[in-house]
Amino acid sequence: MKNNGLVKYDDIYICEPTINVDVEIYNKKLFEELKEQDLVLASKGSSNIDWKTFQDEISYLKDDMGASDFSMRLHLENGILHIYIIWDNNGNIVMEYIVSTEIVTD
């Protein structure tokens, strides 16, 4: 099954959805501080992970941010999850994770 075109009913049972995580960094200096505090899920580009791994990692990240100067804000738009990492001192966005689902198999 490809991600464009018709599929057969039975194809849905052989697919495994993956999570695409794209990363945008808006403040490199504060991003380096996030890395030093081990508060970075992914650092650049795009990566594919399974849903359970993503759930675990984002949970750890949320818990760890509680003891930092950073916080996380989530926003869902058109089926795409945007996770903003905010610097609490001024409310600026440091980085953004853009999370979408892909269902493709050959």
Residues 6+ apart with CB under 8 A from 17: 51, 101, 102, 103
pLDDT of residue 13: 78
pTM for the predicted model, two decimal places? 0.80
- pLDDT of residue 2 exceeding 60, the answer is no
For 69, the 3-state DSSP assignment is: coil
pLDDT of residue 1: 47
Q: What is the pLDDT of residues 45-91, one digit of tens each?
A: 556 777 788 888 889 988 999 889 999 999 999 889 999 999 999 99
